[in-house]
A = this chain, B = another copy of it.
Amino acid sequence: MKILVQKFGGTSVADLECQKQVCAKVLAALGRGYKMVVVLSARAGETNRLLALADEWSKTPDLAERDSLVSIGEQLSVALFAILLKDAGVKARSVLAFQIPLITGDEYSDARIRSINSDWLRAELEKYDVLVVAGFQGVTEEGRITTLGRGGSDTSAVSLAAALQAEECEIYTDVDGVYTTDPRVCSQARKMRTIAYDEMLEMASMGAKVLHIRSVEFAKKYKVPVRVRSTFTEDPGTLVTQEDSSMEAVLVSGIAYDKDQARVTMRGVPDKPGIAAAIFGPLSEGGVLVDMIVQNTGRDGITDMTFTVSRKDLAKTLELMQKVNAVIQAQEVMHDVHVAKVSAIGVGMRNHSGVAARAFAALQKERINIMMISTSEIKISILIEEKYVELAVRILHEAFGLDWDMGE
């Protein structure tokens, strides 16, 4: 059985006209001999409408009930689309999580998939040519409805593709693929034909929000080839897949940026063991995600500790730091919201030195001051003044040869 999974987002199923275009995509794939699993999101705006209702009913709505509530958005989408397919003469049916079942833990609103009954799905694929599966939802062992968190329909699609060993998982969206950087910022941005899972993970977490990050982790774990493409064109899009030698030949695959950064500096803290724990322990307990961290080499037993957080968490962070400071006695707590992060990403940089140096040189040439640097195996991130972020993206894009077709 040759199986293809296709996932369509909220704008693709928003109204009858959109759903007819989706229908055409599905019919085309059926014509190529596939059995199909079509995963749908809620219609655009529906999930927010339902969440707003829950918030109207309670300031702290019960999470299990809220999940049961918001899951109806996808139930609506799949029933309507199945009606459309049957009208077109296709042997199709809608499928809800409890019917498979697709079992998750009971972390309501952000549940993790535990198992998928692929035997049941295969049996249904014997009877039907298309299963229209509600994305975003699962059920606990006890049969209570859960949701997988924002963007969870991508995760549904990839995990169904993994369970069924589908040939490919196509994620249809309103962009036609993954670009070397944001085309709105850099006119030289190119669509990539392929990208490695690890690169995609860095891109996704950096604000290139094409794919839900957990779905990429899933795809990587189960080696599911994922294709990101547009509902509204015939372009083959970008294939997210295992890295190969051709990818490693490219030093940097893409440039990402993130403006949602605020910098906090604890100036003049005693340079002794336990200081880092004293600062970051309370932040972790308070649910604040820390991104970049830099500690300068100390002098005279005194050092500076600098880190960045999401802007929405800044007020909470400063409040926590006041308390921390009663203990650690820094000379000053400073902060700055006019900062942004630019990153160069590529599995190729693993085998090459000098990538960081090339990035710094390019930025320095334009007199862009580098505030912080952090590096990982396949990524270099640089914190700069926010006003330079677009310029920095274009400079790095050119510096790493992404402006020209490198025949990848």
Contact = CB atoms under 8 A, between A and B. Distances in A.
Interface of A: 16, 19, 50, 53-54, 56-58, 60-62, 64-66, 68-69, 72, 75-76, 78-80, 82-84, 86-87, 93-94, 96, 98-99, 143-145
A66 B79 contact: yes
Nearest to A88: B58
Contacts of A19: 57
A140 to B, nearest CB: 11
Contact of A69 (B50, B69, B79, B144): B79
Contacts of A79: 54, 65-66, 68-69
Contacts of A50: 76
B98 A57 contact: no
Nearest to A78: B68
Nearest to A134: B68
A83 B96 contact: no
A66 B83 contact: yes
Contacts of A83: 54, 57-58, 61-62, 65-66, 69
Contacts of A68: 75, 78-79, 94, 96
29 contacts: A50-B76, A53-B80, A57-B80, A57-B83, A57-B84, A58-B83, A58-B86, A60-B87, A61-B83, A61-B87, A62-B82, A62-B83, A62-B86, A64-B93, A65-B82, A65-B83, A65-B94, A66-B79, A68-B75, A68-B78, A68-B94, A69-B75, A69-B79, A69-B83, A72-B72, A72-B76, A75-B75, A96-B145, A98-B143
Contacts of A145: 96
Contacts of A86: 58, 62, 65
Contact of A144 (B53, B80, B99): B99
A54 B19 CA distance: 13
A87 B54 CA distance: 12
A86 B63 CA distance: 11
A79 B55 CA distance: 12
Nearest to A80: B57
A68 B84 CA distance: 14
A60 B89 CA distance: 12
